[in-house]
């Protein structure tokens, strides 16, 4: 059985280039402006409500969290943590991605070629197991059918389908941009995609340049180097989710806060 699985796996890898798209977010550069959230909502046709301030009911694919070192003035420091989907790879050949392994509808899968965790809205029936399984809270549920102020539906992106009430959605690393980049590559009769041809909306919107996106396995891509920089870590690494979003910070208290569940506080770099 496992032999067969390995065969099947090889079969997948034998076609096209194998990518491993990921992100490195520099927390020292992030100012918490929220441009990434806005760009994400506009790019991905994310619906909003009249009062979007209720964070329990509003949907975001990219969300900026705020943590503080808890010290009184003048030593107070703030760190903002932008949080897209981590596109967990898991370990081994089974790609034990938490959300993928629990989905009873096969509405979400781990793409063997790109490492992107998909979400197929028309396949999802809204059981929300994936939301329970995701340790990063990146998945959101549509409690209402999307509605846009009159005329605004003309500004929707035709490359991203809108989601109906009752389904789960999440960040796709702007997969439609990869599709677009592929299209262009095919037209020029090549298969490989250049780094600048496929960038997520949040990456391009960040005025501080805090987000870097690319193929983690490709030595020519910026992220390949950045993910190994000192002070690089991933969220909840101990869980073995093997996420593809890395964070970088030079501040000791941020690293400490990020490592809080690992039990080795302050060690910083924790990926194997």
Partner 1 sequence: MPLAGFSAGLVVCLFVGWLVFPQILYSEKTQPIDFSHKLHVDEVGECDGCHYFREDGSFSGIPRLASCVECHEEAVGEHPEEAKLVAEYVKPGKEIPWLVYARQPDCVYFSHAAHVKMAELDCVICHGPIGDSDHTRPYQYNLITGYSRDIWGWNIAGMSKNAWDYSQTDESGEVHIDSPARMKMDDCAICHEEKGTNDGCFVCHK
Q: Which stretches within the chain are classed as H helix?
A: 2-13, 35-43, 98-102, 129-133, 175-187, 201-205, 222-226, 252-258
Q: How far is the CB of 179 from partner 1 (least distance, A)?
A: 6
CA 208 to chain CA centroid, Å, is 19
Which listed residue (97, 108, 199, 200) binds partner 1 by CB under 8 A? 108
Question: How many residues contact partner 1, by CB under 8 A?
Answer: 36
- Quick check: 195 binds partner 1 (CB under 8 A)? no
Per CB under 8 A, 112 contacts partner 1: yes
E strand map for 120-263: 140-141, 168-169, 211-215, 232-233, 245-248
Nearest distance from residue 49's CB to partner 1, in Å? 22
Nearer to partner 1, 181 or 269 (CB): 181
Per DSSP, 117 falls in state B
Provide the minimum distance between the beta carbon of 232 and partner 1 in the complex, in angstroms, as a whole number. Answer: 27
Which residues are registered as beta bridge partners of 142? none
CA distance 106 to 102: 9
**Residue of 159, 222, 256, 269 interacting with partner 1 (CB under 8 A):** 159
d(CA 109, CA 219): 26
31, 52, 76, 122: residue in contact with partner 1 (rule CB under 8 A): 122
Q: Which residues bind partner 1 (CB under 8 A)?
A: 11-12, 14-16, 108-114, 116, 118, 120-123, 159-162, 172, 175-176, 179-180, 182-189, 191
């Amino acid at each position: 059985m496992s032999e067969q699985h390995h065969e099947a796996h090889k079969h997948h890898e034998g076609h096209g280039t194998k990518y491993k798209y990921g992100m490195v977010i520099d927390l020292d550069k992030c100012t918490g402006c929220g441009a990434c959230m806005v760009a994400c909502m506009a790019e991905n046709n994310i619906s909003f409500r009249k009062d979007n301030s209720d964070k329990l009911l509003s949907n975001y694919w990219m969300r900026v969290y705020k943590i503080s070192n808890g010290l009184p003035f003048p030593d107070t420091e703030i760190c903002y943590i932008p949080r897209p989907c981590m596109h967990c790879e898991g370990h081994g050949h089974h790609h034990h991605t938490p959300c993928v392994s629990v989905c009873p509808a096969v509405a979400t899968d781990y793409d063997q070629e790109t490492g992107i965790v998909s979400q197929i809205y028309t396949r999802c029936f809204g059981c929300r197991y994936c939301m329970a399984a995701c340790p990063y809270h990146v998945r959101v549920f549509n409690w209402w059918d999307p509605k846009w102020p009159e005329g605004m539906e003309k500004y929707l992106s035709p490359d991203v389908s809108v989601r109906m009430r009752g389904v789960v959605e999440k960040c796709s690393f702007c997969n439609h941009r990869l599709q677009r980049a592929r299209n262009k590559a095919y037209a020029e009769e090549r298969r490989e995609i250049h780094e600048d041809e496929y960038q997520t909306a949040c990456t391009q919107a960040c005025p501080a340049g805090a987000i870097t996106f690319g193929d983690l396995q490709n030595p020519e891509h910026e992220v390949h180097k950045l993910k190994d920089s000192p002070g690089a870590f991933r969220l909840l690494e101990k869980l073995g989710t093997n996420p593809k979003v890395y964070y970088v910070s030079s501040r000791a208290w941020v690293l400490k806060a990020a490592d809080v569940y690992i039990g080795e506080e302050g060690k910083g770099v924790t990926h194997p």
